[in-house]
Chain A
Amino acid sequence: DIVMTQGALPNPVPSGESASITCQSSKSLLYSDGKTYLNWYLQRPGQSLQLLIYWMSTRASGVSDRFSGSGSGTDFTLKISRVEAEDVGVYYCQQFLEFPFTFGSGTKLEIK
């Protein structure tokens, strides 16, 4: 199984500052179609999951352009610019390259 490893944030992050969350996969997520099958989700407190980014860097419909994804085949970053109170929650990366789909353990974002 592909192991997803997420980094921690130096919480709390001051409102208006940027925050970067890292994620590493144990296998390259770059597929032969040229797409990298890495997703980012946000789980706000007490809520379900929201898709933020798919194919490593494509924002999902309705997601603020303050969220951006980047990376290589195995190392990924989700950057949140100008953090706001509504960004509080746990961020998960996920590989969608192959079964079983696996998630990182989550990175908590708190705002000061």
Chain B
Amino acid sequence: EVQLVESGGGLVQPGRSLKLSCAASGFTFSNYYMAWVRQAPKKGLEWVATISTSGSRTYYPDSVKGRFTISRDNAKSSLYLQMNSLKSEDTATYYCARQTGSSFDYWGQGVMVTVSS
């Protein structure tokens, strides 16, 4: 059974940093692209980052480019999201998702990040 479990969320002040983790199990992690998607409170979904199987290629929307860094450790079946220079508008639930050539086919339960002073 595919499982994705996020951790590392919490309350952080504007301008500070936070690192999210996602532990994957139930599939060969190194064979899949992975992604982060976020959902602000009572809002819709926003794709945040994608990483290739080896980690050599990463993709971001303009809203987080230069502030967020996605990475992975295939030996540990783990995905990460380093978030720097956080803003209030980054407040959201962050989901880890497995990415195929067609979709995000499995999602974690999400982890909440609140950016506030």
Contact = CB atoms under 8 A, between A and B. Distances in A.
B45 interface: yes
Contacts of A37: 102
A47 B108 CA distance: 10
B107 A49 contact: yes
Contacts of B44: 92, 103-106
Contact of A54 (B37, B59, B95, B103): B103
Contact of B104 (A51, A58, A102): A51
B91 interface: no
Interface string B77-107: 0000000000000000001010000111111
A99 B103 contact: no
Given A49-B37, A99-B50, 11 more contacts: A39-B102, A39-B104, A48-B108, A49-B45, A50-B107, A51-B103, A51-B105, A92-B45, A94-B104, A100-B61, A105-B44
A39 B110 contact: no
The B interface, classified by DSSP as helix, strand, loop or mixed, is strand
A60 interface: yes
B45 A103 contact: yes
A48 B102 contact: no
The 6 A-B pairs with the shortest beta carbon distances in the complex, nearest first, are A100-B61, A101-B47, A54-B103, A103-B45, A54-B102, A49-B107
Interface of A: 35, 37, 39, 41, 47-51, 54-55, 58, 60, 92, 94, 96, 99-106
Contacts, number: 54
A101 B46 CA distance: 8
Given A48-B110, A49-B95, A103 B104 contact: no
Given A48-B95, A99-B50, A60 B105 contact: yes
B31 interface: no
The residue among A47, A55, A99, A100 with the most chain B CB atoms within 10 A of its own CB is A100
Nearest to A35: B102
B61 to A, nearest CB: 4
